[in-house]
Amino acid sequence: MTGAERTWDVLTKLGVDVIFGVPGGAILPLVDAMVAQQGDLRFVVTRHESAAVHAADGYARVSGKPGVVLATSGPGGTNVITGLATAMADSVPLVLVLGQVASGLIGTDAFQEADLFGMTMPVVKHSWRIRHAGEIGPVLTEAYRIAQFGRPGPVVIEFPKDTQMQEVDNEPASFPEPPAPVLRPQPLAWARARAYLARSRRPIFYIGGGVVISGTAPTVKRLAERYQAPVTTTLMGLGAFPSSHPLSIGMLGMHGTWTANHAMQQADLIIALGVRFDDRVTGRLDSFAPHARIIHVEVDPSEINKIVASDAALVGDLAQILPQLERHLPEAAQHDEWLAQLARWQAEHPVRVPESPAGAVAAPRALQILRSVIRPEDIVVTEVGQHQMWTALFIPRDHPRTFVTSGGVGTMGHGFPAAMGAQVGRPDVRVYLIAGDGSFQMNLQELATLVQYQIPIRIIVLNNQGHGMVRQWQDLFHGGRRYGVKLLNPDFVKLAQAYGMNGFTVNSEGALAEALTVLADQPGPVLLEVVVPEDEHVYPMVPAGRSLSEVIEGA
């Protein structure tokens, strides 16, 4: 068989069932071999390579399987870099197969040649260049394994065109079981952790995306209930602990709840699980959690002590560490006084919901109304901006892999194609995309992909006529001098209809509630535009560089 045929033979045996991408000259042998295979492999052709990577990213986040992307050389490859950086920051497993000019032309500035191997290296876990078709089986197998084990992330395979056409023996591909991770002894760290757990009177679990990735959400719930400690989550950790649980105090950080932020500042023990102490979480570092000992459990040793020093660092997979941690919990732990204090704070400092003005729906109210039709098993995807933070605050998630958003890089334009990929990965559930008018237009062309493949996502565009989060920062920190944030938008409803899908617009709470009942029963893709106030700010907010104690609750 040819190298291209060998590629699909190996990938399908690895369990790959869908490819996202855009065809092009340097990958035509791969595309041709995919067609000739006539198997169950599905090729979703997006309108832009950046959308292909984001779609594969969304597929991976909800399915737990690596997303696979196909892109051609030159601009096809350069267009994927933002998507790779997005996946790398959020620990999303991707396998990117990149076409390249023929081996003899590499380095000659041939047509559509670019050093994709070098360009992508800073934003991937590992890179390969296929030099002979005989390498295809071992490289693809290793790439698929590296993408998903340990701390997941994207990998790149650069595939010169001539190697795609080389003949290779049709030998059975071998798929050896990856070695089980070895948990190294950490007796001092465990002794410290046990002592801190026994002494603590104000503990808190601080959990992130690592809990979702490791599949340990049920274990974390059991630990929190047994230890009777509150739980706060990062943006990436939403769904890792049920938002409806009495021990949940919501998201923390820049737009986290007043209670979660003050709990971190008053805690005497922080049990950090699968988190990296991002600056949006910690606020001002020299005032972060001044009274707390920190137990940090993390699979990636480079994250230990990188930003915040830990008192007991437990390096390893959460699936291995947490059962041991459970054995170190004190018997009959009670933290009634601490939990009562948090309950008082929650009552005294709820997240404020403004009234809707005439001719618009206050964004928090829009999300509260939307919440009434979203089922626990449905998947909620956001773009990046104010709507992202409002969604995190007002759309509770009780199950892992039901909330998808770009966290570490904050990539506008990620959410729409990620929602398409999520729906492809989970066709059995409803997928809701919540977008702002600015970020939605970053990959607006994918409406065509949505309709062509009849991917039935439900799009909610909160339209405030501009880049709302940038405008908020200009209002609060730059003297109210607004520039570059007012957008001339299309008529989103007419645009949806031009692509062949249904679209609606509403500007009142009653109309929104009525439209959502229609939206929930739509068999295909549908877009709902909600007019929201142009000058609305998202609160709570901890200004950048300030302590978590300095929460602004509202105007």
φ, ψ (nearest 5 deg) of residue 273: -120, 115
For residue 382, which of 550, 226, 538, 515 has the smallest C-alpha distance?
A: 538
231: helix, coil or strand?
A: strand
How far is the C-alpha of 242 from the C-alpha of 141, rounded, in Å?
36
Could you say which of 1, 37, 112, 534 is catalytic? 112
How far is the C-alpha of 334 from the C-alpha of 332, rounded, in Å?
6
Query: How much is the pLDDT for 184?
Result: 79
237: helix, coil or strand?
A: coil
How far is the C-alpha of 298 from the C-alpha of 175, rounded, in Å?
28
How far is the C-alpha of 54 from the C-alpha of 425, rounded, in Å?
13
Could you say which of 161, 205, 241, 412 is catalytic? 161
As a 3-state breakdown, the chain gives helix, strand, coil percent values, each rounded to 5, of 40, 15, 40
CA distances to 118, 366, 375, 512 from 396, rounded to whole Å, are 41, 14, 10, 19
How far is the C-alpha of 252 from the C-alpha of 3, rounded, in Å?
49
- May I ask the CATH class of domain 363-531? alpha beta
Distant-in-sequence, close-in-space partners of 136: CB < 8 Å, separation ≥ 6:
3, 6, 7, 10, 130, 163, 168
Active site residue 469: yes
How far is the C-alpha of 100 from the C-alpha of 216, rounded, in Å?
40
Query: How much is the pLDDT for 552?
Result: 95
C-beta neighbour count of 124 within 10 angstroms: 21
How far is the C-alpha of 443 from the C-alpha of 439, rounded, in Å?
8
What residue ranges of the chain are covered by domains with CATH 3.40.50.1220?
Answer: 187-348
Active site residue 13: no
What residue ranges of the chain are covered by domains with CATH 3.40.50.970?
Answer: 3-165, 363-531
Active site residue 125: no
Q: What type of residue is 429?
A: V
List the beta bridge partners of residue 486.
466
Distant-in-sequence, close-in-space partners of 526: CB < 8 Å, separation ≥ 6:
456, 458, 459, 496, 501, 502, 503, 504, 519
Could you say which of 469, 492, 504, 509 is catalytic? 469
Q: What type of residue is 518?
A: V
Tokens of 555: 């105007």
Could you say which of 111, 326, 377, 494 is catalytic? 111
For residue 392, which of 506, 485, 224, 280 has the smallest C-alpha distance?
A: 280
The CA R_g of the chain, rounded to the nearest whole Å, is 24
205: helix, coil or strand?
A: strand
Burial class (CB in 10 A: 0-12, 13-18, 19+), 13: middle
Q: Return the CATH fold of 187-348.
A: Rossmann fold (3.40.50)
Query: How much is the pLDDT for 182?
Result: 72
* CATH architecture classification, 3-165: 3-Layer(aba) Sandwich (3.40)
Active site residue 117: no
Query: How much is the pLDDT for 459?
Result: 97
Query: How much is the pLDDT for 38?
Result: 64
DSSP letters, 84-107, are HHHHHHTT--EEEEEEE--GGGTT
Could you say which of 49, 113, 298, 446 is catalytic? 49
Where do runs of H (alpha helix) occur along 22-72?
28-37, 49-63
Active site residue 553: no
- Per the CB < 8 A criterion, the answer to whether 416 and 446 are in contact is yes
How far is the C-alpha of 160 from the C-alpha of 106, rounded, in Å?
9
How far is the C-alpha of 261 from the C-alpha of 547, rounded, in Å?
9
343: helix, coil or strand?
A: helix
Per-residue pLDDT of the chain (555 residues; tens, 9 = 90+): 999 999 999 999 999 999 999 999 999 999 999 988 767 789 999 999 999 999 999 999 999 999 999 999 999 999 999 999 999 999 999 999 999 999 888 888 889 899 999 999 999 999 999 999 999 999 999 999 999 999 999 999 999 999 999 998 877 777 777 777 777 778 999 999 999 999 999 999 999 999 999 999 999 999 999 999 999 999 999 999 999 999 999 999 999 999 999 999 999 999 999 999 999 999 999 999 999 999 999 999 999 999 999 999 999 999 999 999 999 999 888 899 999 999 999 999 999 999 999 999 999 999 999 999 999 999 999 999 999 999 999 999 999 999 999 999 999 999 999 999 999 999 999 999 999 999 999 999 999 999 999 999 999 999 999 999 999 999 999 999 999 999 999 999 999 999 999 999 999 999 999 999 888 888 889 999 999 999 999 999 999 999 999 999 986
For residue 346, which of 264, 270, 258, 245 has the smallest C-alpha distance?
A: 258
- Per the CB < 8 A criterion, the answer to whether 154 and 124 are in contact is yes
Query: How much is the pLDDT for 408?
Result: 95
DSSP state of 178: P
- Specify the residue for token string 């459970």: 326
